[in-house]
Amino acid sequence: MTSESAGAAPDRSSLSRALGLTIEPDLLDLALTHRSWAYENGGGPTNERLEFLGDSILGQAVTVMLYTTYPDLSEGDLAKRRASLVSAVALAEVAAMIDLGQHVKLGKGEELTGGRDKSSILADTVEALIGAAYLDRGADEATALVLRLIDPLLADPDRFGAAMDPKTSLQELAARLGMGLPSYEISDVGPDHSKVFTATVVLDGTPIATGEGTSKKHAEMGAALEAWTVLQQGRRH
């Protein structure tokens, strides 16, 4: 796998194809620059401002799409669906679908601790890409990008339902499979102001899946959705 931190520039054309649009190279590079890379390479700008912008665009695009697509849903149901689609869990899944991890510019330290697979980093980078698309291509194309990215989640009703409440969905599926109640083992790394939590789902005494996030709740949600996916795939084979 290509690694930015190793000094080799990846082929960004594959990312452009996955996104369905091209972004000006310098702006795209900024969107992919994690703070760990900037810190280890003399400082400089990171993707955090673009992430801030992209978060707002993502929320608006999803809100309008849900409002117009589901005219019979109540405000409460719309809010739940929006929360699931803009969550770190959902965005990390989107990032995995487009193989985003290989393109992120990471510092060596973050690389060694599995940063390319961390849900929080992947989710933040998706938002930064949306922000970059807005600045380079305008509001309409940025909105179209958001809708393309989340469409696979909407197209799978089972997965969409699980993404809305992964812990409950996992508990129900595990019960149907006679596996008992899931439990979560939590660990964390980093300073108090910037901890990253890792949750491991355990069923019948066996670790099933892990998830990570900037809070215990997000880590558990990520782990639950991954475990639900593993069990669902097992049922289908």
220 is catalytic: no
127 is in an annotated binding site: yes
Q: What is the β-pairing status of strands 206-213 and 196-203?
A: antiparallel
Q: Is 236 exposed, middle or buried (0-12, 13-18, 19+ CB in 10 A)?
A: exposed
55, 110, 111, 220: which one is catalytic? Answer: 55
185 is catalytic: no
Q: How many C-beta atoms lie closer than 10 Å to residue 81's C-beta?
A: 22
212 is in an annotated binding site: no
127, 212, 220, 226: which one is catalytic? Answer: 127
93 is in an annotated binding site: no
Active site residues: 55, 127
Annotated binding site: 51, 124, 127
Annotated binding site for Mg(2+): 51, 124, 127
